[in-house]
Amino acid sequence: MNNYKLLIQYDGTEYAGWQYQDNAVTIQQKIFAAIKTLIGENVNLIGSGRTDAGVHALGQVANFATEKDIDVSKFQYSLNSILPKDISILKLEKTFESFHSRFDAKERIYLYLISKYKSPFYDRFSYFYHGRLECDRLNSIAKVFLGKHDFTSFCKKNSETENKVCTVFNIHWKETKGMIFFRIEADRFLHGMVRTVAGTLLDSFKNNLDETHIIKVLEQKNREAAGESVPAKGLFLFKVKY
């Protein structure tokens, strides 16, 4: 059995997320249909993780297996020719048979973009935040998230995932040229987690709350204790490490 690995970018604005859904258009559905068109068979297209509705990707990874021996260069070109303009296959390669894009991932990195001024060029891919922000202060508060924690307070209530413990390796805020970048790296993420963490940190800064507030929110294991999620349009799955 041949196993093929894809590196994917997409603008998630018009989609209901990565994961296939009934009565909704998703990224996985579009790529699956394109592959089927080219090889004439249904494949099990596995993504490294589920991005939510409206969330983008700079480095989503997926894989599928088939008995057919594919010319990867021609196949990548053909895939991109029939996929919509907001989905791109950056790389296609044959990988080892046991590779699993989700279970083999060691670390996932997300970026969240905040624009400090209104721009028609940034609107689709960033959150225009009206208030004052200081990255040094945000970084000081954010350090509480480093390490292993139960993130029940930071995932959606209807999450089907029983294990809500995640290990955060790095979390950082940085400002450059009118944009603020929030970067978080962890072994795994829960449904809605990144947007809720970012929103809670912004809320903490706005209301002059310190690190003890974040500690209390983590301890409560209650979504209502955390802040409001930031909009999906500023979030990118940046990279998956194996």
Please give the residue that has the higher pLDDT: either 119 or 87.
87
Question: Per-residue pLDDT for 227 more than 90?
Answer: yes
Q: What is the pLDDT of residue 145?
A: 98
d(CA 51, CA 125): 15
Of 96-105, 160-169, 220-229, the poorest mean pLDDT is in: 160-169
Q: What is the pLDDT of residue 161?
A: 78
Segment 189-206, tens digit of pLDDT? 999 999 999 999 999 999
Q: What is the mean pLDDT of the chain?
A: 95
Task: Name the band, by pLDDT with cuts 50, 70 and 90, for residue 109.
Answer: very high
Segment 26-35, tens digit of pLDDT? 999 999 999 9
Q: What is the mean pLDDT of residues 31-45?
A: 96
d(CA 8, CA 226): 32
Give yes or no for a contact between 107 and 48, defined as CB atoms under 8 angstroms apart: no
Half-sphere exposure of 152 (CA within 13 A, CB side): 9
Q: What type of residue is 177?
A: K
Q: What is the mean pLDDT of residues 166-182?
A: 96
Determine what percent of the chain is predicted with pLDDT higher than 70.
99
Give the domains, in start order, of the chain with CATH numbers.
2-95 (3.30.70.580), 107-241 (3.30.70.660)
Question: Per-residue pLDDT for 188 more than 90?
Answer: yes
* Active-site residue set: 52
Whole-model pTM: value is 0.95
Question: Per-residue pLDDT for 157 more than 80?
Answer: no
Q: What is the pLDDT of residue 173?
A: 98
Quote the tokens at residue 221.
């294991």
Give yes or no for a contact between 236 and 112, defined as CB atoms under 8 angstroms apart: yes
Q: Give whole-number Cα distances, 177 to 114, 207, 229, in Å.
A: 11, 25, 24
Give yes or no for a contact between 195 and 112, defined as CB atoms under 8 angstroms apart: yes
SS3 10: strand
